[in-house]
Amino acid sequence: MRGIQFPIFKTKIEKTHQKFDLTDFSQRKNYFELKAGREIKKLREYLKENTFIAYLLGKKNSGKGTYAKMFKEVVDKDHVEHFSIGDMVRNLDEVVKDRKKRKELVSFLEKNYRGYLSLKEIISALEKRSTKTLLSSELILALVKEEIAKRKKKALFIDGFPRDLDQISYSLFFRDLIGYRDDPDVFVLIDVPETVIDERIKYRVVCPLCQTSRNLKVHSTETVGYDQKEKKFYLICDNSQCKGARMLPKEGDELGIEPIRQRLDKDEQLMKKTFSLYGIPKILLRNSIPVEKAAQFIDNYEITPEYSYQWQEGIKQVKIIEKPWQFSDDEGVPSYSLMPSPVVVSLIKQMTEILGL
């Protein structure tokens, strides 16, 4: 990202020749033990008596939720919580339609909301809400307070706050507002090249039955089909709880990042603004690494694989071809995309250092 220098984090351990399938849960567990076992142990001890608040900042589809959930999976699933502002706002659509829940919401806001819009105006705005319209900062703060009050006090990864430039100042005092007064807080800034975001969107497919999401190019499934009439390859859902439906692209995804260009620009502004703040530490995560430096800093299995397919007419089967995903980053540098696991190793080690463990 222009304006912020995201360092390359080394996960490679010299003289170690172990390889891991980072899509396999048990192998991933062993991977983290090897790469960050000492830091994970320290964090677990810390979380027995203490918590923290981490604000996740990154462009749309940069993997904020993925990294937070993997941190929780690896470090302490009982004492870490991932909280999405976006999910909270989307849930409001159902709340305002349900008479009982709507009444409870109004009652809560009467006691806790302070802002420039009346409650009548707020409810009306929620009923007519567009996904392109941001709710007022004052309302967001009240709603977040309600959601966090429902949970036991845990270490929090807050995904989607601050959401606009005027909310950055709020975030400096957010831990006080939600009752985490003495806990450390930190900004987690995530750098993902726009080429990666673009292809994550363009090749995304979703199961029509269970809504599981995959990617034809960089997150394939065990079974790949070929539509001879349309001359197109497709993925078969591999969710064990599903019936194995043909996964489908979402309408508009073929346009990639262009429909969200303004959102991406705003996200970049937010990251640059928060990076310049004093008084709160920052963790810097990068999703890519220059090709020429990869061998020095990472193991080959930590690179995101790219998949392509060939239809073998004679045996009526699809041949899956795998290679490291290489692209040009935002500066035009030939780069590899990283799997989530090495990025989370970086998150774990930087968090341990910031907490003084």
Q: Which pLDDT does position 129 carry in this prediction?
A: 63
Evaluate whether 286 touches 5 at the Cβ level (below 8 Å): no
Q: Which pLDDT does position 85 carry in this prediction?
A: 85
Q: Do 281 and 218 reside in the same domain of the chain?
A: yes
Size of the chain, expressed as the number of residues it contains: 357
Q: Which pLDDT does position 144 carry in this prediction?
A: 83
Whole-structure pTM value = 0.89
CA separation for the pair 249, 336 (Å, rounded): 25
Q: Which pLDDT does position 314 carry in this prediction?
A: 85
Could you list the beta-strand ranges (E) of 71-218.
Answer: 80-84, 155-159, 185-191, 204-206, 213-215
Q: Do 44 and 188 reside in the same domain of the chain?
A: yes
Q: Do 141 and 259 reside in the same domain of the chain?
A: no
* Residue at a domain's end among 105, 132, 152: 152
Tell me which amino acid residue 85 is: I
Within 10 A of 332 (CB to CB), how many other CB atoms are there?
Answer: 7
CA separation for the pair 343, 283 (Å, rounded): 11
**Mean of all residue pLDDT scores within the chain:** 89
Q: Do 215 and 230 reside in the same domain of the chain?
A: yes
Helix axes 99-112, 85-95, angle to 10 degrees: 120
Residues of the chain short of pLDDT 50, as ranges, are none
The answer to whether residue 89 is domain-embedded is yes
The answer to whether residue 277 is domain-embedded is yes
* Residue at a domain's end among 101, 121, 152: 152
CA separation for the pair 51, 331 (Å, rounded): 37
Q: Do 210 and 316 reside in the same domain of the chain?
A: yes
Q: Do 207 and 100 reside in the same domain of the chain?
A: no
> What does residue 114 show for φ and ψ, rounded to 5 degrees?
-135, 115
Q: Do 236 and 222 reside in the same domain of the chain?
A: yes
Q: Do 113 and 172 reside in the same domain of the chain?
A: no
The answer to whether residue 183 is domain-embedded is yes
The answer to whether residue 64 is domain-embedded is yes
- Domain at 277, CATH number: 3.40.50
Buried b (16+ CB within 10 A) or exposed e, 9-31: bbbeeeeeeeebebeeeeebeeb
Q: Do 167 and 316 reside in the same domain of the chain?
A: yes
The answer to whether residue 6 is domain-embedded is no
Residue 169, classed as helix, strand or coil, is helix
* Residue at a domain's end among 104, 133, 152: 152
The answer to whether residue 1 is domain-embedded is no
Segments forming the whole domain that contains residue 232: 25-79+154-354
Q: Which pLDDT does position 134 carry in this prediction?
A: 63
Evaluate whether 342 touches 298 at the Cβ level (below 8 Å): yes
Q: How many domains does the chain have?
A: 2
Q: Do 147 and 158 reside in the same domain of the chain?
A: no
CA separation for the pair 147, 141 (Å, rounded): 10
Evaluate whether 53 touches 175 at the Cβ level (below 8 Å): yes
What are the CA-CA distances from residue 240 to residues 26, 221, 244 (Å)? 17, 12, 8
> What does residue 157 show for φ and ψ, rounded to 5 degrees?
-105, 110
CA separation for the pair 185, 187 (Å, rounded): 7
Evaluate whether 71 touches 344 at the Cβ level (below 8 Å): yes
Q: What token pair was written down for 314?
A: 């004679």
Identify the residue whose tokens are 């060939």.
Answer: 310
- Residue of 338, 352, 351 whose CA lies nearest to 284: 351
